[in-house]
Amino acid sequence: MENAAAEKRVTLLYVEDDAEIRERVVSILQLKFPQITLFVEKNGQDGFDLYRTHHPDIVLTDIRMPVMDGIRMAGEIKRVDKNALIIMLTAVSETDAILEAIDIGINHYVMKPVIMEKLIASVERCIEETKMRRQIRQQDETIRRMAYYDLLTGLPNRQMFSKLFHHALAHAQRHSRLLALLCLDLDRFKAVNDTHGHPVGDQLLQAVAQRLKQCCRRDQDAIARFGGDEFIILLSDPDSSQEAVRIARKIIAAFAVPFVLDGHELLISPSIGISIYPDDGTDEDTLVKSADMAMYCAKKEGRNRFHLFNS
């Protein structure tokens, strides 16, 4: 809960060299915006350094400051993040600076002497903009997950698998290395749904995904759900086909331990087919078909076993 609350907070960097003005503005900001995490610096260089480290949501800055003025700091920030939200405190007499700030793309201006109501209104608009951006990012992430990940297990789906495969294939082609695919199907999974119901079947699929993750721990490997009770495992850069055999045996041994779900103790076995690049195919479709054919051979041979495509 604490992490979720921290993520919702808005961060604001205030840069001002005048101690009296700085103290007054800080007290107003803390009073009016308790949801803000406030960073305060006294010159543009320190402000820019802090921005690069913390990337605050909003920047509020004066123009005239030592070491690095507000205009230059704003320009450096915009080069780092063109979408940075910046509020500039500026005097009417600073016409050239205002024009330069417009060219940089400053979001809001508050004239000095500062009228606090106008400053508060500018900060409020930036807070709303920050919240809207976060909402859009969250929606984009949700859409991305729906497009590339299986919603039940959280594993990559077929589309994401294809992306991962082509990345691994390019590496294998460049370095003359192997790839291995393990196509896995759960034996008699339909009986689980028929006997215990689909909710238990869904729980079983989720538990299977977790157990497969425990069997394949290398960062460069990938596990995907192709749909139903079919999973596929991509082993990148194995030393030989025996590495795929070792993983298959490890999975079969892991599945010998019953799954305990919703008060039910379920035993389910996998049938696994293995294909190897480049011997069994040089493209995704061929290798997947080869692994799939090998998996059906494993089922015909009695289930709860693996079969190499070329064996």
Q: Which fold has domain 158-308?
A: Alpha-Beta Plaits (3.30.70)
Over the Cα atoms of the chain, what is R_g?
29
List the single range of 108-122, 173-187, 272-286 with lowest mean pLDDT: 108-122
Query: What are the residue ranges of CATH 3.30.70.270 in the chain?
Result: 158-308
pLDDT at position 110 is 78
Query: What are the residue ranges of CATH 3.40.50.2300 in the chain?
Result: 2-147
Tens-place pLDDT, residues 209-239: 999 999 998 888 999 999 899 999 999 999 9
pLDDT bracket for residue 97 (50, 70, 90): low
The predicted model gives 272-279 an average pLDDT of 97
The predicted model gives 44-67 an average pLDDT of 92
What's the 3-state SS for the chain?
CHHHHHHHCEEEEEECCCHHHHHHHHHHHHHHCCCEEEEEECCHHHHHHHHHHHCCCEEEEECCCCCCCHHHHHHHHHHHCCCCEEEEEEECCCHHHHHHHHHHCCCEEEEECCCHHHHHHHHHHHHHHHHHHHHHHHHHHHHHHHHHECCCCCCECHHHHHHHHHHHHHHHHHHCCCEEEEEEEECCHHHHHHHHCHHHHHHHHHHHHHHHHHHCCCCCCEEEEEECCEEEEEEECCCCHHHHHHHHHHHHHHCCCCEEECCEEECCCEEEEEEEECCCCCCHHHHHHHHHHHHHHHHHCCCCCEEECCC
CATH code for the part of the protein at 2-147: 3.40.50.2300
The predicted model gives 126-154 an average pLDDT of 90
pTM, two decimals, is 0.66
Tens-place pLDDT, residues 191-213: 999 999 999 999 999 999 999 99
Does the pLDDT at position 123 exceed 80? yes
Between 272 and 106, whose confidence is greater? 272
pLDDT bracket for residue 99 (50, 70, 90): low
- Which residues carry out catalysis? 229
